[in-house]
Chain A
Amino acid sequence: DIQVTQSPSSLSASVGDRITITCRASQSINRFLNWYQQKPGEAPKVVVYTASTLQSGVPSRFSGSGSGTDFTLTITSLQPEDFATYYCQQTYSTPRTFGQGTKLEI
């Protein structure tokens, strides 16, 4: 299985801040990495797919980058609704493994 290591596991920030979350894959996965946002009691929602493609309807303050083994999700100018847990997922091969999650807190 491809292991995906996500960091940090938690992050404290304020409204208006810029934050970055990283994921590192145990082998090259090209650009086959997606980012999901999950709020308590809800199912995850995709925010970025194939490393850098913004899901329709997701604000442009979200962006993704990277290829190979190293990827980042950046949120500029944090808004109150952005505080959630974020997961990366590699889709290069099955099983489609997830990072451990990053809880973004105020």
Chain B
Amino acid sequence: QVQLQESGPGLVQPSQTLSLTCNVSGGTINSGLYYWTWLRQPAGKGLEWIGHIYISGSTTYNPSLESRVTIAIDTSKNQFTLKLTSVTAADTAVYYCARDVVGTAVLQNWGQGTLVTVSS
């Protein structure tokens, strides 16, 4: 069973760059069957789709974040990453990585989530 695990700093300074990694185990990231996705959820609020990447390297981002987001994939390490620049307190959230099945677009596998706080 595939497992996803987020990692990265839990505290980021305002105006700096948030960087997270999602490590995929129990399966290969080098598959054309999935999109590899990032989402986030501020405390007590709903879910926001940040964007996803396909094995080809093709990315799609949420227009609300597109100017600040980069998602990349590293097949040699079986992981994908999220970078969000110029962060503010509004970017404080639990960040999730997930696997999205091409065709049905169902987020079938999720990481446990990691809390990132933007504060000085």
Contact A32 B105 (CB under 8 A): yes
Q: Total A-B residue pairs with C-beta atoms closer than 8 Å?
A: 56
- How many chain B residues sit at the interface, stated as a range, is 20 to 34
Contact B111 A43 (CB under 8 A): yes
Contact A99 B113 (CB under 8 A): no
Q: Which residues of A contact B89 (CB under 8 A)?
A: none
Contact A91 B105 (CB under 8 A): yes
Report the separation of the CA atoms of residues A55 and B69 in the bound assembly, to the nearest whole angstrom. 31
Contact A1 B63 (CB under 8 A): yes
Within 8 A of B (CB), among A48-71: 49-50, 53, 55
Shortest Cβ gap from A47 to chain B (Å): 10
Query: Does A12 have its Cβ within 8 Å of any Cβ on chain B?
Result: no
Report the separation of the CA atoms of residues A28 and B24 in the bound assembly, to the nearest whole angstrom. 34
Query: Does B25 have its Cβ within 8 Å of any Cβ on chain A?
Result: no
Using CB atoms and an 8 Å cutoff, list the residues of chain B in contact with chain A. 46-49, 51, 60-64, 96, 98, 104-108, 110-113
Using CB atoms and an 8 Å cutoff, list the residues of chain A in contact with chain B. 1, 32, 34, 36, 42-46, 49-50, 53, 55, 87, 89, 91, 94-101
A-B CB contact pairs (8 Å), 12 listed = A32-B105, A43-B98, A43-B110, A43-B113, A44-B107, A46-B106, A49-B104, A50-B106, A89-B107, A94-B62, A97-B49, A98-B49
